[in-house]
Structure 1
């Protein structure tokens, strides 16, 4: 195996951070009205789905206090017998 006698300079790595290209990218194309409307519709659909799932899921997350009071009343009437 051959060994390189001189050390490898790592200055090119530092220069890579500062490298600027002289080629400018092409300008971005403007979105059409249909594309913008589609993006708004997609965003609105996602927000509506999140709100709808929250509205539907809220009863499952809340504690049902009425069933606890009915159970306690039922246990009191059975104890009274």
Structure 2
């Protein structure tokens, strides 16, 4: 880590920068079949929601006018 440039009034604060724990974290266990299936289902649900929002939202974002508006404009001339 980095060293402090300014003097520190408390020694334990300066020691905290270079403190290393001797406690090792527990090993991570393997995910069960149900957990893997649940994560896949959650991912597919999120992707399907995004795709569905795009499919439903694309007509609203398009710049083309509806056929009724162009027919009304052509009849006006």
User: Is the TM value for this pair above 0.5?
Assistant: yes
1:22 aligns with 2:30: no
User: Normalising by the residue count of structure 1, what TM-score does the alignment of the two structures yield?
Assistant: 0.71
CA–CA separation in structure 2 for the residues paired with 1:17 and 1:28: 27
User: Normalising by the residue count of structure 2, what TM-score does the alignment of the two structures yield?
Assistant: 0.74
Q: Tell me by how many angstroms 1:30 deviates.
A: 1.3
Larger helix proportion of the pair = 1
Task: Name structure 2 gaps, 5 residues minimum.
Answer: 1-7
| Greater RCO, CA 8 A, separation 6+ | 2
Q: Tell me by how many angstroms 1:70 deviates.
A: 1.5
> Counterpart of 2:71?
70
CA–CA separation in structure 2 for the residues paired with 1:10 and 1:72: 81
Task: Name structure 1 gaps, 5 residues minimum.
Answer: 1-7, 77-81
Count of residues paired in the alignment: 69
